[in-house]
Amino acid sequence: MKQNLHTHCQFCDGKDTVEELVRTALDKGFDSLGFSSHGYAHPLDACSLDDEREAAYIYSVLEARARYGDRLKIWLGIEEDLTGRIYADPAFDYVIASVHFIPVPDGQWKAVDYSPELTREMIQTDFQGDFLAYARAYYNELKKIAHRPEADIVGHLDLLMKYNEGEALHPFDDPAYLDLAMEAIDELIAADKIFEINTGAMSRGYRSEPYPQALLLKYIQTHGGKICITSDCHARDNLDCGFDIARNRAKAAGFDQVMVLTEQGFVPDSLWD
Ligand SMILES: [Zn+2]
Ligand SMILES: [Zn+2]
């Protein structure tokens, strides 16, 4: 099944309308498309939905479902930021829970994925150059998703490494770093969350590999975790960006299946068809 459950449109920071994305999905041979606007996370995330845009977003996706539902299965989802509103609302078919902001030692909250300069400055200034302190702050937040019953999917597991191409910030294989990530993964697997292989940073030119990095993906596989493949799409041309690479990375890590959303809920779909 060709599906993407992580899709942003004009109601948050995506470039395209719901209808443009639906038409692109049809052109690209998708079976199913899920929308996942950034849920209410004001004031930290200015582009996240407010009440008015949330209502318009829901209306727009449901309208697209009514018009195109015979040709494309359309799901209404939400990407919930851990600092924002909890979407336990049954109106949504699924919830992606993500950490975009972390607390720095002076008590402020700062984005990990806003720009290479700001991330580097945060590590140098707020964490006094201690990369592991930065990573600990991130994974301490991420772990909390294990205690969010509404969350189906963990968004971009190692987003804190968005600007680490060429190990510009820190070695990917530092055992002390991996320990922090693996501890969070253990808790998330125990809570039965699904992990994304997310190609969003590839389409934006920041990374040559999807999240999560290969060592962590392998760890998820060997510890019985479940995965799905998403593009974190913000522009319609990227709706299936890197999907072939993501499938290959999943197979290389030992997965035979990815999870897909169906009328029966999340079910496994073979990677070998
Ligand atoms: Zn996100
Ligand atoms: Zn997203």
pLDDT at 273: 74
Nearest ligand to the CA atom of 98: 1
Tell me, in angstroms, the distance from the centre of ligand 1 to residue 29's CA.
25
The pLDDT value recorded for residue 89 is 84
The ligand placed nearest to the CA atom of residue 12 is 2
Question: What pLDDT, on the 0 to 100 scale, is given for residue 181?
Answer: 98
pLDDT tens column, 71-127: 999 999 999 999 999 999 889 999 999 999 999 999 999 999 999 999 999 999 999
Q: Can you spell out the DSSP letters for 156-210?
A: STTGGGTT-GGGSSS-TT-HHHHHHHHHHHHHHHHTTPEEEEE-HHHHTTS-SSP
For residue range 24-54, list pLDDT tens digits in order. 999 999 999 999 999 999 999 999 999 999 9
For residue 109, report the distance from its CA to the centre of ligand 2, in Å: 19
Q: Which ligand is located closest to the Cα atom of residue 156?
A: 1
Count other Cβ atoms within 10 Å, centred on residue 14: 22
Query: Residue 149: is its pLDDT beyond 90?
Result: yes
CA of 90 to the centre of ligand 1 (A): 21
Pick the ligand that lies closest to the CA of residue 100: 1
Q: Where are the domains positioned within the chain?
A: 3-270
How far is ligand 1, taken at its centre, from the CA of residue 103, in Å?
A: 17
Distance of alpha carbon 107 from alpha carbon 219, whole angstroms? 32
Ligand 2 mean position to 108 CA, how many Å?
22
Q: In the prediction, which pLDDT does 192 show? A: 98
Report the separation in Å between the CA atom of 22 and the middle of ligand 1, taken as the mean of its atom positions.
20
**Closest listed ligand to the CA of 233:** 2
Closest listed ligand to the CA of 113:
1
Mean pLDDT, the chain, rounded, equals 97
Distance 236 CA to ligand 2 centre (A): 14
For residue 149, how far is its CA from the centre of ligand 2 (angstroms)?
A: 20
pLDDT tens for 178-234 read 999 999 999 999 999 999 999 999 999 999 999 999 999 999 999 999 999 999 999
CATH code matching the domain that covers 3-270, chosen among 1.10.357.10, 1.20.1250.20, 3.20.20.140, 3.40.470.10: 3.20.20.140
Tell me the CA–centroid distance for residue 12 and ligand 2, in Å: 10
Distance CA 10, CA 23 (A): 15
Average pLDDT, stretch 226-250?
98
Bridging pattern class, strands 153-154 and 194-198: parallel
Span from the CA of 77 to the centroid of ligand 2 (angstroms): 11
